[in-house]
Structure 1
Amino acid sequence: MTDTVIGLIGAGSMAATHAAAWRSLGARVLVWSPSTAHRFAEAHGCEASTSLEEMLAACTIADITSPTPLHLEHVRAAIGAGRPIVCEKPLARTSETARDLAQAADAAELPLYPAHVVRYMRPYADARAAVAAGRLGTVQAATFTREGATPVGGTWFDEDAASGGILFDFLIHDYDQARWMLGEVTRVAATQSPATADGIVPALAEAHVTLTHTTGATSSIVGRWGPADTVFRTSFSLDGDTGSIAYDSAEDAPIAAEDEPYAAQLREFAAAVAGGPPPRLSAADGVAAVRIAEAVHRSAASGNPISLV
């Protein structure tokens, strides 16, 4: 991948994760952010760009890891420069914006790949393959859990309008997994405790979500944000009429180094840009995940189920 030049937009924790993955694949990584590009470049083995325009002119793939409220501006800039795009999840904060970005990329004949990395985690990918092959029979019920430390306060993430909090930014991974494994979602119902108040994302929150799929199957999703020492943990279980499958990151073997999901994801995206097969994620998947997350957020705020039909 020595001919691949990445234009990395953003200089936060996800930018560091993407930079390490791209560099492990042999790509050259340029980085731009409004104020911290040079410091980030020194820390992560990248090259700092003095402007977004300069970087987009020099790169072969734009990789957007900036805060969600800036995705609209940065995706549009990459489209204007004619660059294929990787965009960290969520694609946008609203389904309307996500659809607009997907349509703009399509009109420009440019790929827009939403980075839903859980699709590249071996236990989840194996479970989806088992469902697709019919090894579990008809799956009627699934459960997904995700817990971790409450995000550090004092950032853009505190604003519900910007991040959507636990129901939107955190659990969107599991909405995507449920849809990937069990099909389109027709109805959502959600609760969050404590509720969001005065537009500020609560800390130490717990969320419960139920998704109903077109098949009649249901997915139960639970998310928790705990104290700073909370160990990150995810799990899932799928129950079919001829078999079941389950995974718990706290009990099962850790993901092997050769299966590192961020590198696997970006490798697949880069191969597609170079003319290889399409990746397991499309812009439409990113839009669908945002649409589900948006409905879940509305359900929790209103106390009522939301139909997606």
Structure 2
Amino acid sequence: MTLRSPLTGVVPPVCTPLTPDNEVDVGSLVRLVDHLVAGGVDGLFVLGSSSEAAFLPDRHRKVVVDTVVGHVAGQLPVLAGAIDMATLRVLDHARTAAEAGADAIVATAPFYTRTHPAEITRHFRLLAQRCGLPVFAYDLPVSVHSKLGADLVLDLAAEGTLAGLKDSSGDEGAFREVVVGARSRADITGFSVLTGSELTVDSALAMGADGVVPGLGNVDPAGYARLYAYGRAGDRERARVEQERLCALFRMVRVGDPARMGGSSSALGAFKAALYLRGVIDCPLTADPQIPLSAEEIERVGKFLAAAGLL
């Protein structure tokens, strides 16, 4: 389908279900997509952080984008992560996404190398020139170790290089600067500003954000669809109540014992455990070398689901 401009609404970063032998579980992935569509989401983002893109070999990435684009069949826009260390590697992923029929790519700044803002700018310009799809910038400094400055993003938006921004920086002041700039600059049109924070969607929408890319949206897509609808309608009280319910549910990401696993293992394991307990996917396994949740930790995830009215 043609990507609407700007992209708005709830665009969850789709988890990647795996089989016990670490292959993509295509059947579970299709059920997850159906679960998200039934929940009222407005688009899908595959191969992002919550998709475990950093852990997946290229053949797994291809299976994911081929499966989701093929199954959605134009019902919703599909954004594909083309996340890798530098431009030529990102372009390889972008070609795979384009061949599958994805509607846009999502890319971070280059990483591993020590990158100057001029090189980040050049990176996004080359992607836009060569990949043949709209490009969304993914601001994720905790992982790529460079922050996408508001001026850099807005200037690239003005020249048509970027179609949007997914902001997972945690810097609310810089996020506001991009939102205000995108609305006030006459040379920027059709640019989408999306928050990646599950916990501050109500305030982001009040600022003027176009939408949200919530990892927790895998677990409760209908909740985020309601939150988005309340926020866009200006119903701040209902938005606040729904946001607080989702904040309580999000506490599941801390069920993992920090003495034996990292925060990513705990959070992604909790999302997958929740999908497993809800009957959406067959196996809650996360990709190696992440540490799996214990049976007791999975049981605790179930308690969060029950408290949120999801079991």
Identify the structure with the greater strand proportion.
1
TM-score normalised by structure 2 residue count: 0.33
Greater C-alpha radius of gyration: 1
